[in-house]
Structure 1
Amino acid sequence: MHTPPVATRKRKRAHQYTVSYSEVQEVDSAGRLREVIVIEDTPPPSTVSPSTTHMLSASYQPPIYSAPIRTRARAAAEAQASSSSASSALLPPPPKKRKRDPVDVAGTPAKKPAVNGHLQPSSTNKSWATGSGAATDEISKGAVPCDDKEGHYLIVPDDMIYKRYRIVRLLGQGTFGKVVEALDTETNNRVAIKIIRAIPKYRDASRIEVRVLHKLKERDPTNRHKCIHLLHWFDHKNHICIVSELLGMCVYDFLKENDFAPFPRHHIQSFARQLLGSVAFLHELHLIHTDLKPENILLVNNGYKYVTVPVPGKRNNATRVKRILNDTDIRLIDFGSATFEEEYHSTVVSTRHYRAPEIILGLGWSYPCDAFSLGCILVEFFTGVALFQTHDNLEHLAMMEQVMGKMPESFARSGARHKPEYFKEGSKLDWPKPKATRQSRKEVKACRALSVRPSLSSSEISILTVLQDIISPTDNINKQFYDLVKKLLIFDPAHRISVKDALQHPYFSTHIAEES
């Protein structure tokens, strides 16, 4: 047994809230226009599994509907009474606590005229995808609205979308919109449809994703590089809809349902080879994914078998049951934040746990930020839990130093120039600050590193004995895996290994026998 015991501490992420407002014109019962303020407060669904943030997973099994099935009119009426009640019955049980840090939302929705109280985009009544104004025309004629107050599409089983796709069930929802499983009546295949909210900023973001997906399919028609493939996209009643193949659950969900037990080492090698290949392909196209994480890695098949394994550190030959995947084939998904190298780069990208230090310090970012995220993911596959469990920038940097050693001096000086609030005299990280809580200090110390080995150069002082404790180099497999991860998790992006070079690492030529 070469993998470490399952950690008890689970991921923590802070809650996200998106609050914005806009002035709109509303038609009252007498037909007069009046100016009103619309406040849009969109907290993430508290009972949705984190994996459903980008919902192409079919892992959630919703309740079975019994007669009578909700009609569109009934669904709309429920939404008008309470925007939350229309979707609450479709959500899965609450997941384990997993905090997420706040997400910056650029700007607020543009001013939108309203027809019969239904908000519409101010830019045009015509679909940018098809040139059709059908959605607006239906509403202006008094048709029942198809959205809730937050711009989410109302999901009704057996509802037809685009006169082609019959909705089967809701797979999940997030800030961007919802994802449903549907039957393609032309091919008789099951597909996943990502239905974007009818809000301008989310529609604009979906245009970028469609553009990227078109590029990926054009350059890799046979999908050798294992990125999600676009099957179809269209504009349905002011909702951009992105159709893709229906896949299995995300890797995070599998970990969670397996009690956060680590993956077998031969499975980790397979995942690593596929992920590095997918990201290397993106980088060849001058694309940076920017949001690599287990939630954005889907299993093609959910099938698994049960095995009984010993519990390390327990007496009396204690054992437990563990799930082992039958197939490690995966797909990389969610290109809504993907960025072309030559185009505008947002200041902050990546989900907190997988965010590279140069992003936190505002030093700019490029392809190496994806490599850092992959390093964090591979360690998580090996242990079952996230490497950096925090929601605060300074605490995050302190954890990195505990695991990766002190920042190289030149990198720390650059960081101090851009984020002086995180440093003290001499470009030293200013941790702990007097206001740091006892719990925060405790969590940072949990990542404590031991002394730096003098043989390491400044660019190599990145992964120290804490990582060696995590990936104990007891045999050649672990030694090679440790060396690969060490080169991915380097403070200075200029010295971090590229994903293309990482694919040539000796780790991938090391034979790993099947194990539990």
Structure 2
Amino acid sequence: MECLAEMPHAPLDRRPRKRQRLGWDVGPEIPQLKKLCGEEVANVISAMTMGLSSGGIVFSQETQGLFRFVTPPLREDDKDGHYVFAVGDNLTSRYRINAKMGEGTFGQVLECWDRERKEMVAIKIIRGIKKYRDAAMIEIGMLEQLCKYEKSRSSCVQIRNWFDYRNHICIVCEKLGPSLYDFLRKNSYRSFPVAIVREVAKQLLECLAFMHDLRLIHTDLKPENILLVSPEYIKVPDYKVSSRSPKEGSYYKRVPKSSSIKVIDFGSTTYDQQDQTYVVSTRHYRAPEVILGLGWSYPCDIWSVGCILVELCTGEALFQTHENLEHLAMMERVLGPLPYHMLKKADRHGEKYVRKGRLNWPEGCASRESMKAVMKLPRLQNLVMQNVEQAA
């Protein structure tokens, strides 16, 4: 609470104090406002104050144009620090909020109309919390670096602009289609055609080759962070589903019209440093080096791509677990024993999963259910060949 010094010979000024108005928080000066008079001015002020639309009041075209640049009311963030908005609000005088596209730990993504470029864009609005704001500034730096190189335009999302609005970092990017995860979810987790998986794999590996040439490691590759460029899809018969009888006709699944993708979310991107031991990546796509505390390097990204491609082929995440030892045991079940040199170098957090130079499994198994979860996994070659044959 603001403290006011007590003045003995002057009355205390109790008038409400106005918040500081920032340059991006006001619309441009509109000379036509001075021409308005009488009842129409009163109507405009009333509508702005009460939050009414022009539906109940008749305005001239000149007056209606003023609403394009109205600054939205100052609202408090929600309990988690998310920006509170209403569809139709202005986000600075340049952008108008059209819809909410998604939400995550970082904040929200809004579809907005860019008045300057005359196009729809996606704006990532970061939570008004310091650690997320700091991560956003890292992401902006990475995006701006990637945009310096023409090659990045093929598979890395393009930043258009960024600004700080009411304590929220806002990152403006090109508007893309759904993530691979959202497409899978809306497709009832049915697999992608193998031809599309190949095209996605090619683009992901080209993207990583480009990033790794710049000594950058993404660290958090997953289906949620890979977006289809186009939202368009077609429906094709899916005869694998046996739950429906022939009388009900063929079952259909969605297939993207285009396999073009873009990689997003560079907030955890880092430079190649072997001494980094913090965990950033999402569990199902986390490399064994990270679990064992060996630090980040380029193979960690390649591991994530492998997990993603298997998931696109099968429709299900390869390693569905929430416990480190079980996760490592699943890796050995699918791929064979972990290399001895990796187990030997495990740090003090990872060494508890190792015993006498090998993974402490099944001795360290937490439960019978955990052992069953590991044993039911097939070898990688069998898993991939089974899905390739079904798709042929």
**TM-score normalized with structure 1 length:** 0.59
Higher relative contact order (Cα pairs below 8 Å, separated by 6+ residues): 1
Map 1:183-198 → 2, pairs under 5 A:
183-198=113-128
Kindly indicate which of the two structures has a greater share of residues assigned to helix.
2
CA distance in 2, matches of 1:158, 1:313: 46
Name which of 87, 100, 105 aligns with 1:170. Answer: 100
Which one of 158, 182, 198 corresponds to residue 253 of structure 1?
182
Given that 1:416 and 1:427 are in contact with CA atoms closer than 8 Å, whether structure 2 keeps it comes out as no
1:179 matched residue in structure 2: 109
CA distance 1:198–1:308, change in 2 (3 Å): same
Unaligned runs of 5+ in 1: 1-25, 32-69, 75-137, 449-465, 480-514
With over 3 angstroms needed to count, the CA separation of the structure-2 counterparts of 1:184 and 1:439, relative to structure 1, is same
1:299 to 219, 222, 228: 228
Q: Describe the shift of the 1:214–1:442 C-alpha distance in structure 2 as closer, same or farther (beyond 3 A).
A: same
- 1:444 corresponds, among 374, 379, 384, to 374
1:357 partnered with 2:270:
no
- CA deviation vs aligned residue, 1:239-296 (integer Å, no higher than 9, x gap): 1110001111100111111121111111111101111111111111111000000000
Q: Write the distance in 1 (CA, Å) between the matches of 2:117 and 2:233.
A: 29
1:329-387 CA deviation, whole Å, 9 max, x = no partner? 11100000000225983521211001000100001121110011111111111111111
Residue 171 (structure 2) aligned to one of 231, 235, 242: 242
Deviations 1:110-166 (A, max 9, x none): xxxxxxxxxxxxxxxxxxxxxxxxxxxx9xxxx844422332111111111121101
One-letter amino acid of the structure 2 residue matched with residue 372 of structure 1:
W
1:332 alignment partner in structure 2: 263
Q: Distance in 2 between matches of 1:214 and 1:344?
A: 26
Q: Does residue 407 in structure 1 map to residue 343 in structure 2?
A: no
Q: 1:276 aligns with which of 205, 210, 215?
A: 205
- Alignment-mate amino acid for residue 385 of structure 2: S
What amino acid is the match of 1:268? V
C-alpha deviation, 1:409, in angstroms: 2.4
Q: Determine if the alignment matches structure 1 residue 216 to structure 2 residue 146.
A: yes
- Aligned with residue 314 of structure 2, among 383, 396, 402: 383
For the Cα contact (< 8 Å) 2:272–2:296, is it kept in 1?
no
Distance between the aligned counterparts of 2:49 and 2:159, measured in 1?
28
Partner secondary structure for residue 471 of structure 1: helix
1:286 and 2:218 matched: no
Paired residue type of 2:198? Q
1:341 aligns with 2:255: no
Residue 310 of structure 1 aligns to a residue in which SS? coil
Q: Which portions of structure 1, spanning 4 or more consecutive aligned residues, are displaced by more than 4 angstroms?
A: 70-74, 312-319
Identity between Structure 1 and Structure 2 (%): 47
Give 3-state SS (helix, strand or coil) of 1:349's partner.
coil
In structure 2, what is the Cα distance between the partners aligned to 1:344 and 1:153? 36
- Return the alpha-carbon distance in structure 2 between the equivalents of residues 343 and 423 of structure 1: 21
Check the 8 A contact 2:292/2:343 in 1, yes or no. Answer: no
Q: Name the residue aligned to 2:11.
A: none
**Residue in 1 aligned with 2:196?**
267
- Give the aligned CA root-mean-square deviation in angstroms: 3.0
How far off its partner does 1:200 sit? 1.4
Structure 2 Cα separation of the partners of residues 343 and 427 of structure 1: 22
Aligned with residue 148 of structure 1, among 75, 78, 86: 78
CA 208–243 in structure 1, closer or farther in 2 if over 3 Å, else same: same
Superposed displacement of residue 420, structure 1: 2.6
**Larger deviation, residues 390-399 vs 179-188:** 179-188
Alignment of 1:87-98 (within 5 A): none
The size of the alignment, in residue pairs, is: 329
CA distance in 2, matches of 1:73, 1:183: 24
1:469 aligns with 2:356: no
Q: Are the aligned partners of 2:179 and 2:223 in contact in 1 as well (CA < 8 Å)?
A: yes
Mean CA deviation greater in 289-298 or 224-233: 224-233
Say if 2:293 and 2:347, in contact at 8 Å, map to a contact too. Answer: no
Closer, same or farther in 2 for the Cα pair 1:157/1:420, shift >3 Å? same
Q: What is the distance in 1 between the residues matched to 2:289 and 2:386? A: 29
Give the C-alpha shift of residue 419 in structure 1: 2.4
What is the TM-score normalised by the length of structure 2? Answer: 0.76
Instruction: Tell me by how many angstroms 1:214 deviates.
Output: 0.3
| Alignment-derived partner of residue 24 in structure 2 | none
* Cα pair distance change 1:344/1:239, threshold 3 Å: farther
The letter of the residue matching 1:467 is L
| Rg larger for | 2
Aligned residue in 1 for 2:42:
none
